[in-house]
Amino acid sequence: MSQIEFMDEHGSFRIEQPQNISYLYFPIAGEHAGGAAGIKSSLTPLLSGDAKKDQNTFLLEPVSAENLHNNRSTRNFWCRFTDGQKGKAWSASGVSAEQEAERGTEFEEQTELLAGFMWQTVRRQSRKYGLSSEITSFVPVEYPDTEAMLVTIKNTGSEACNFVPIAAIPMYARSADNIRDHRHVTSLLHRTKTSDYGVEITPTLTFDERGHKKNRITYYVYGAGEGGVPPVGTVPAVEDFIGEGGSFTHPEAVYGELNLSPVGTYLDGYETVGALVFPECCLQAGEKATFFLCMGIDNTKEIQSLFREDWQAAFEKTKQYWREQVNVRFHTKDKREDSYLCWVAFQPLLRRIYGCSFLPHHDYGKGGRGWRDLWQDCLSLLLMNPGGVREMLLSNFGGVRMDGSNATIIGANPGEFVADRNNITRVWMDHGFWPLHTTNFYIQQTGDIGLLWEEAGYFKDAQAARGTKKDVLWEDSCGTKQKSRDGAVYSGTVLEHILIQNLTAFYDVGEHNRIRLRGADWNDALDMAAERGESVAFTYAYAGNLGTLCELLKEAKRCGTEKIWLAMELEALLMGREPLYKEIEAKQKLLSDYCESVLHHCSGIKKEYQTDWLITVLHGMEQWLKDTLRQEEWLGGCNAPGFFNGYYDNSGRRVEQNEAGHIRMMLTSQVFAVMSGTAEEEQIAELIKAADAYLYKEELGGYCLNTDFGEVKEDLGRMFGFAYGQKENGAVFSHMAVMFGNALYQRGFAKEGYRALHTLCHQAEDVSRSRIYPGIPEYFNDRGRGMYHYLTGAASWYLMTELTEMFGIKGRFGDLVLEPKLVAEQFDESGHASAELVFAGRKLKIVYCLADMEDSKETEARENAEVCRQDSLRVLSVTVHGKQKGSRIPRTEIESWDINEQHEIRAVLVKCVK
Ligand code: G1P
């Protein structure tokens, strides 16, 4: 199996014979100015896949992974031979019955695929017919609702070749819902028209979840030859194109009789194909002909003008646009891994456009992102394009309810949240954790602590008391904003929102005094323990949040904020003290009283608190939680390494086990125990040993999510119904594996953190095992195949960890701090490793140089041995613009540097001696 070869510093790559790897797909999409997504396509090496704008607007038939090899409805381009070879044809995209039958024989065609951000080119050579093709797919940056195909056919033989070129792109033109819901009936809505450049469908009505509505959307497939020469005719009805008994891989219109419909033909109520027939081509040896196809949605007029433009220029512009979006780059000894990281950095942009749906494995959802994804995707935005993040964060806070839960139906526009009319409401208990995590990162990167004092509204619908009650007084006309008793829309500071989320979680405990699991936590598939389940994993996480809040408030105090105003109702959540923390029923009652106080209206009255006092309260809660968890949830084995328990099931039993012959271990529990600062250093060292013994599978990409429980644990979640080693049941699930790496780095375990990340990347890189294009997939299955490629929160976390932990380039209340934790093998032969990024609006290149160990001030390093673990590094000197600096460079200074230049910061490093 051929491997990926990188072609430039932007991650553009090539691979040979990609059609011999199943389930490969590549994303290309468009984006409107202002950020709204355009067309979203997926393409296989044989140009299968689909194209859509949203759930109800699919241009090409929706596909799931299994359709990728099953579906004959691909984007095809035929050469129908005339003269001597009459009756024969060649598919320039490789999709004919003849080519399929040639697989593995001497006639199998040679192909190569080249790809970069949002473009794909497939080259194919037919020795049999002496022709080659090159098909480039992209979404022109100025026409974001159009997928373009640039097709070049070349005569590579020694004789002249005559053929009729025929593009054939089956059009679906309706809602994804209709794939098995009135598929035929909805074709009766089709009104097809043939125009100058091709075929258009404007269905009369739409039949989908919105009901029967008048349709206003036009779908089209247009094309032209060089000089904008239009097709001579079309064959718009699928049944005419394929012929009786024919198929898209052996169509009648290509192999048999060809009856053209002229411009201006109307066809009502039939399945349609964008079959465009171009004037006959006569290519002498070595000559080529180029065609330009556009398939898309609306904008029919503008698109036709595209045929007079320079197609190649449109392609170059598109490439340039997407390259500029990725402005983080790494240079280490491993050049391949550096190129891979270009794709990891690109993935968060894909998730912004595709949401969590719309690629073949992601055959669920309707394009939206979940609450936790919304917040985590901001992490990478903060690194690459921090411009609009403040507004985005603020508008996202508008989705928090006053009971600490949040809107789960997220609208298409920022800050748009939809009321949940569902009778069975799910409350994901981890949702309250992410906003503070992201907000803290924002404040550290930008120094904008003022965000905490910005005001935002609260979301309101009928769901109340964290999904346990209904607000019977609420109706649609009340709107989706929380109001106070006087009827005014209530708003509170960002800090107030964060406090509500974290304090309500603190009190929302089950029978073991851990936070209740409710509908699930990060692991969506832990969804069968709503009554008695508890997530200790996220109890650790919330404990960590309380500590983060204290840090932020201390900084606020340092900046002069002595007093803080909060909604009066919050007093109940702040007045409890330690003896109460132990009393489960009292805690539940306190929470329930609080929820009652904001069930329909809130008072609208605010109360003042001293910042210091608030810090003391939060610190007390944090310490109590961490101490308790550390003592009570640690599963020490007699002769085996210990680890943390992370769950209680619906039968009230502890889930993880550490007894000889009975090991049940979950990675999530370890991640949050470490990341939150609950686990002590010795415990971390031990739990790494346990994770290595029970969860680490190098040949599958590293740390698996859990051990095999060997039972369908109906009292915990559907994950146990999945085969072991798949998805949320024990796969190497990238998101958690990366978070494990991040947590280890944060706590100074650099070597181990590096291993977690590197093993994952290494797995992805080896195509013979991962069978994916560059990037990090959601998970690797039990055979090591990369699954659910591209749309995963793991990418954001990977990028953040690489930059802020591995390279240690991070903000501290807005200043730039250098705290590298690179390991020896990451430095190149000359002892260098560098990263390029934008910080404080300036382009920076941080170059780390390893000092010659002979010269290093060993004594000084030894003095620091206590704070540095293992292989960690110490910054000896920092130089910018020829001047010496400390390893913390004030933001104000960076902001005084030229905005157009790249500034090199050189840091000399010395290894710490343990
Ligand atoms: C996906 C979901 C994420 C969820 C996770 C585990 O993860 O998007 O919300 O927490 O599965 O169930 P992803 O691969 O996007 O990181």
Q: DSSP per residue over 863-880, as a string? A: HTTTT--TT-EEEEEEEE
Using a 6 Å cutoff on CB, does residue 869 contact ligand 1?
no
Give the distance (Å) from ligand 1 centre to CA of residue 104: 39
Reported confidence tier of residue 608, pLDDT bands at 50, 70, 90: very high
Pocket test for ligand 1, best of 347, 373, 705 (most atoms within 8 A of CB): 373
Give the distance (Å) from ligand 1 centre to CA of residue 704: 15
| Eight-state DSSP code of residue 308 | T
Atom of ligand 1 nearest to the CA of 791: 15
Reported confidence tier of residue 871, pLDDT bands at 50, 70, 90: low
Alpha-carbon distance values, 680 to 52, 427, 606, 914 (Å): 50, 31, 39, 19
Structural contact between residues 560 and 554, judged by C-beta atoms closer than 8 angstroms: no
Residue 856, pLDDT score: 47
Using a 6 Å cutoff on CB, does residue 826 contact ligand 1?
no
- Exposure string for 861-872, b = 16+ CB within 10 A, e = fewer: beeeeeebbebb
Using a 6 Å cutoff on CB, does residue 356 contact ligand 1?
yes
Residue 88 has pLDDT above 90, yes or no: yes
Residue 487 has pLDDT above 90, yes or no: yes
Q: State residue 725 phi and psi, 5-degree precision.
A: 95, 0
Residue 202, Cβ neighbours under 10 Å: how many?
Answer: 18
| Eight-state DSSP code of residue 802 | I
Residue nearest to atom 16 of ligand 1 (CA): 793
What CA–CA distance (Å, rounded) separates 377 from 796? 6
Using a 6 Å cutoff on CB, does residue 789 contact ligand 1?
no
What CA–CA distance (Å, rounded) separates 512 from 42? 47
Give the distance (Å) from ligand 1 centre to CA of residue 736: 9
Bridging pattern class, strands 51-54 and 205-208: unpaired
Using a 6 Å cutoff on CB, does residue 524 contact ligand 1?
yes
Mapping DSSP to helix (H, G, I), strand (E, B) and coil, where does residue 742 land?
helix
Nearest C-alpha neighbor of 295 from the set 273, 328, 271, 320: 273
Residue 913, pLDDT score: 55
Residue 509, pLDDT score: 98
Nearest C-alpha neighbor of 498 from the set 551, 422, 426, 558: 551
Alpha-carbon distance values, 347 to 341, 355, 600 (Å): 10, 11, 41
Tell me what the pLDDT averaged over the chain comes to.
95
Q: State residue 572 phi and psi, 5-degree precision.
A: -55, -40
Reported confidence tier of residue 862, pLDDT bands at 50, 70, 90: very low
Give the distance (Å) from ligand 1 centre to CA of residue 504: 24
Structural contact between residues 137 and 43, judged by C-beta atoms closer than 8 angstroms: yes
Q: Who's near 773: CB < 8 A, 6+ residues apart?
A: 4, 13, 15, 24, 26, 115, 343, 789
Q: State residue 561 phi and psi, 5-degree precision.
A: -85, 105
Mean pLDDT value of segment 496-511 = 98
For the stretch 361-408, pLDDT in tens is 999 888 878 899 999 999 998 999 888 899 999 999 999 999 999 998
Mean pLDDT value of segment 122-141 = 97
Reported confidence tier of residue 677, pLDDT bands at 50, 70, 90: very high
What CA–CA distance (Å, rounded) separates 136 from 119? 7
Using a 6 Å cutoff on CB, does residue 758 contact ligand 1?
no
Helices (H), 766-910: 767-770, 794-800, 858-863, 891-895
Residue nearest to atom 15 of ligand 1 (CA): 792
| Eight-state DSSP code of residue 355 | T
Mean pLDDT value of segment 460-477 = 94
Residue 868 has pLDDT above 50, yes or no: no
Using a 6 Å cutoff on CB, does residue 735 contact ligand 1?
yes
End-to-end CA separation in angstroms for the chain = 44
Residue 866, pLDDT score: 41
The one-letter amino acid code at 805 reads E
Neighbouring-strand partners of residue 435: none
Using a 6 Å cutoff on CB, does residue 370 contact ligand 1?
yes
Tokens 């990238």 correspond to what residue?
A: 734
Q: Who's near 474: CB < 8 A, 6+ residues apart?
A: 460, 461, 462, 600
Residue nearest to atom 9 of ligand 1 (CA): 373
What CA–CA distance (Å, rounded) separates 538 from 428? 11
Using a 6 Å cutoff on CB, does residue 778 contact ligand 1?
yes
Using a 6 Å cutoff on CB, does residue 372 contact ligand 1?
yes
The one-letter amino acid code at 286 reads G
Alpha-carbon distance values, 40 to 76, 143, 469 (Å): 19, 12, 39
Nearest C-alpha neighbor of 23 from the set 681, 787, 707, 737: 787
Nearest C-alpha neighbor of 427 from the set 464, 381, 394: 464
Nearest C-alpha neighbor of 800 from the set 424, 455, 384: 384
Residue 8 has pLDDT above 90, yes or no: yes
Atom of ligand 1 nearest to the CA of 735: 16
Alpha-carbon distance values, 166 to 162, 247, 255, 565, 675 (Å): 13, 15, 11, 70, 58
- In the chain, % helix, strand, coil (3-state, to 5) comes to 35, 30, 40
Using a 6 Å cutoff on CB, does residue 656 contact ligand 1?
no
User: Which tokens is 642 given?
Assistant: 């210990």
| Eight-state DSSP code of residue 806 | I
Residue 533 has pLDDT above 60, yes or no: yes
What CA–CA distance (Å, rounded) separates 490 from 480? 11
Give the distance (Å) from ligand 1 centre to CA of residue 734: 9
Where residue 689 falls (left for φ over 0; alpha for ψ -120 to 50; beta otherwise) is alpha
642 vs 911, higher pLDDT: 642
Mean pLDDT value of segment 610-623 = 98
859 vs 314, higher pLDDT: 314
Helix (H) or strand (E) holding 885: strand 883-885
Give the distance (Å) from ligand 1 centre to CA of residue 666: 16
For the stretch 27-38, pLDDT in tens is 999 999 988 899
Using a 6 Å cutoff on CB, does residue 667 contact ligand 1?
no
Residue 860, Cβ neighbours under 10 Å: how many?
Answer: 12
- Give this prediction's pTM: 0.96
| Dmax (CA) of the chain | 94
Atom of ligand 1 nearest to the CA of 356: 8
Mapping DSSP to helix (H, G, I), strand (E, B) and coil, where does residue 615 land?
helix
Using a 6 Å cutoff on CB, does residue 373 contact ligand 1?
yes
Pocket test for ligand 1, best of 735, 792, 798 (most atoms within 8 A of CB): 735
Give the distance (Å) from ligand 1 centre to CA of residue 575: 36
Give the distance (Å) from ligand 1 centre to CA of residue 120: 27
Using a 6 Å cutoff on CB, does residue 408 contact ligand 1?
no
Give the distance (Å) from ligand 1 centre to CA of residue 319: 29
Q: At what angle do helices 335-354 and 371-384 cross, to 10 degrees?
A: 130
Nearest C-alpha neighbor of 235 from the set 269, 202, 271: 271
Give the distance (Å) from ligand 1 centre to CA of residue 546: 24
Q: At what angle do helices 494-507 and 584-597 cross, to 10 degrees?
A: 140
Tokens 């013979």 correspond to what residue?
A: 768
What CA–CA distance (Å, rounded) separates 670 from 666? 7
Mean pLDDT lowest for which of 361-375, 738-752, 834-848?
Answer: 361-375
Structural contact between residues 109 and 102, judged by C-beta atoms closer than 8 angstroms: yes
